[in-house]
Structure 1
């Protein structure tokens, strides 16, 4: 059985300079209608530590999104829709990519795209070839915050993502 998955709209405002891209929200995230809702995903603890120094993310989802936007970070996914059984990126097929040319035209201050894991990076490259050579746009594959990426501990993720956000000249 293949489930149809439809992604979320982006969380972005005019101040955003970095876009963090997932692949497609997990089954739990789709059910909750929240990015990174799976309790074992390290995205929110990692970003909270990097951006605020605190260990516990805001309890309210909209406060989590606001925390990112206040630090000039937008959030979206490389895939607009797909078929997938379960939550693993390896199970994704029949995907349709989001339109990043249109997105970046609307949000021109975004100059860095950080892909949260290999599938996000792979899909972004596949559907946005013209953007790969765009002057002034940095696109980077980051280690996934997914619980499936067990070889990266939280402290390692924090160090790697902090470095990428520093290179993007975000106030941390």
Structure 2
């Protein structure tokens, strides 16, 4: 199995919060876009909260996120994974992104929101122990993945609305 590589961060210098996924799935990697799977609720939620919905061209969605002070990235820079599920990630293959450098450049980020439990667990395991002392508020949100069908869209939207209240 070959390593899959994620995307660079999407962030402006004014970013105040960071949304982290674990690692892009196959649909996203093929499209070279964050959250490209048509059944992933991320862009629908961003549309309802920020006007950055899937009806807009991808570059415009990213501009809207950045204008709202939101940065977007993944915890994992590279890993082996047999499919698109987080459960398919080979733990020993995980290479985390360099958050020390990212957070040093984006000093106004004080809050990190995780798109699901896997992103949070990966960050706490592979990133947090190596970060210099810096006050960061960490919040787990329900995964927008179509594999996480335990919560309704309305429940996910309500939980994610915290990003516009911060």
TM-score (norm 2): 0.92
2:64 alignment counterpart? 67
Provide the C-alpha distance between the structure 1 equivalents of 2:62 and 2:55, rounded to a whole number of angstroms.
Answer: 9
Counterpart secondary structure, 2:94 = strand
Counterpart secondary structure, 1:115 = strand
Residues 1:17 and 2:23 are matched in the alignment: no
Provide the C-alpha distance between the structure 2 equivalents of 1:111 and 1:58, rounded to a whole number of angstroms.
Answer: 30
The size of the alignment, in residue pairs, is 164
1:27 alignment counterpart? 26
Provide the C-alpha distance between the structure 1 equivalents of 2:4 and 2:164, rounded to a whole number of angstroms.
Answer: 29
In the TM superposition, what is the alpha-carbon distance from 1:131 to its structure 2 partner?
Answer: 6.6
Give the superposed CA RMSD. Answer: 1.7
In the TM superposition, what is the alpha-carbon distance from 1:117 to its structure 2 partner?
Answer: 0.8
Counterpart secondary structure, 1:20 = strand
TM-score (norm 1): 0.89
Map 1:1-172 → 2, pairs under 5 A: 2-52=1-51, 56-93=53-90, 94-130=93-129, 134-166=133-165, 168=166
Counterpart secondary structure, 2:62 = helix
Provide the C-alpha distance between the structure 2 equivalents of 1:104 and 1:135, rounded to a whole number of angstroms.
Answer: 9
The answer on whether the counterparts of 1:125 and 1:132 sit within 8 Å (CA) in structure 2 is: no
Structure 1: gaps of 5 or more residues: none
The answer on whether the counterparts of 1:17 and 1:111 sit within 8 Å (CA) in structure 2 is: yes
